[in-house]
Amino acid sequence: MATLVKDKGNFTFKPTNFVPIEFTEKSQDSKVQEKAKLNPPPEPKPVPLPPQRVTALTSSETDVTINVPGPQITLVNEGPEILGPGMGGEARPIVRVSPQYPIVAARDGITGWVQLAFSINESGGVTDIEVIDSSPKRTFDKAAIKALKRWKYKPKMVDGKAFKQTGLSVQLDFNIDQETGS
Q: What is the pLDDT of residue 2?
A: 65
What is the rounded end-to-end Cα distance, in angstroms, of the chain? 120
Per the document, the length of the chain is 182
| Higher-pLDDT residue of 92, 168 | 168
Which among 105, 96, 94 is positioned nearest to 70, based on CA atoms? Answer: 105
60-105 per-position pLDDT tens digit: 344 444 444 455 555 554 444 443 333 444 677 899 999 999 999 9
In this prediction, what percent of the chain has a pLDDT beyond 70? Answer: 61
Which among 177, 121, 174, 175 is positioned nearest to 149, based on CA atoms? Answer: 121
Q: Average of pLDDT values for 145-171?
A: 90
Which among 121, 118, 116, 127 is positioned nearest to 156, based on CA atoms? Answer: 121
Peptide bond into 136 cis (omega under 30): yes
